[in-house]
Amino acid sequence: MLKELITPNAANVFVGKLGDILIRAVGKPLEYAIDWGRLWSLWPVHIETACCSVEFGAASGPRFDVERFGIIEAFGSLRQCDLVVVQGTITRKMAPRLRMVYDQMPDPKYVIAMGACAITGGLYFDSYNVLPGIDGVIPVDVYIPGCPPRPETLIQGCILLQEKIKRMKVR
Amino acid sequence: MNTKKEDILDIAAYIRDELKFDHAESVAGVDYPSSKEIEVVYHLGSYTEPQLAKQILSLATRLPREDVPNPGEDRTRMTSLRDIFYSVEFHERECFEMFGVYFEGHPDNRRLLLPEDWADIPPLRKDFKIKGR
Ligand code: SF4
């Protein structure tokens, strides 16, 4: 009976099943650990093109202090960053530069579109030179509406992004 | 003050030498599609004369307007005032790309503000259509 079972075919199936179980057992906690690590070390690139950047400045000041939530303020170079915060109007001239910034960053990378201008063009939606929303140029993870958004809204957006990262599949 | 475009160089020299308006503050363009004209307005001010400090003289001239603009090649052109008021250099470059007004005798008629790959009509003309999303 047992001898009949141990054929090359069955052994293959057995090894495959074992692999699945192993991946389930190790992969999930590992994924959680990796996501957790990414979650608390978001290094942002600031695309400070307009007035929303003032609110970002306020948010990083002592009163609101986003550093509590793991969004570290200073950064060295684009290669160390994994978050683009677009704070303000993106013109058609700026759009290729924004894409270039995004392309220079290593994976994984996330994008926050802050303010009405970055989402839809905002006040300047019918201008000849303003991009109606940055999602035509780079993929956006979190939209933070407002003109400008209050620092609390920005913090809420960052927490939303962290929630999203928590549930992300690690590739 | 409205002038013909042929006389604008002499009139500007007169304004600078006799009326003591010594610099240009801005160069504006106004588009009149119904009368097929583009108006170029120079706003002139004075630093040297204290009683003229609060005065602004606007010197305007009208140019023919093409329905299909081809900046630099068509009839929408005038003499540059850069030799008379040095400060109009960048304003005229802006006016060139926003309205398609070509300034003859301008030393550096390159693109100033628009994207490098701009391939549309000058954006401040009335018949410019935004593309939207
Ligand atoms: S959304 Fe409002 S505050 Fe933000 S960049 Fe645009 S105009 Fe400025």
The overall average pLDDT reported for chain B is: 86
ipTM: 0.72
pLDDT at B131 over 80: no
Sketch the domain layout of chain B as residue ranges.
Answer: 5-104
Burial class of residue B65 (count of CB atoms within 10 Å of its CB; 0-12, 13-18, 19+): buried
Q: Which residue has the higher pLDDT, A36 or A9?
A: A36
Q: Nearest CA to A123 among A50, A47, A29?
A: A50
pLDDT at A91 over 80: yes
Distance between CA atoms of residues B27 and A116, nearest Å: 32
Q: Say whether A129 and B128 touch across the interface (CB within 8 A).
A: no
Alpha-carbon torsion (A16, A17, A19, A20), positive or negative: positive
Residue A138 distance to chain B (closest CA, Å)? 14
At residue B67, the 3 state secondary structure works out as coil
3-state DSSP of B86-118: CCHHHHHHHHHHHHCCEEECCCCCCCCCCCCCC
Architecture of the B5-104 domain: 2-Layer Sandwich (3.30)
pLDDT digits (tens, 9 = 90+) for A39-54: 888 888 888 888 888 8
Share of chain B above pLDDT 70, in %: 98
pTM: 0.78
Q: Which residues of A touch B133 (CB under 8 A)?
A: 132-133, 136
Distance A153 CA to ligand 1 centre (A): 14
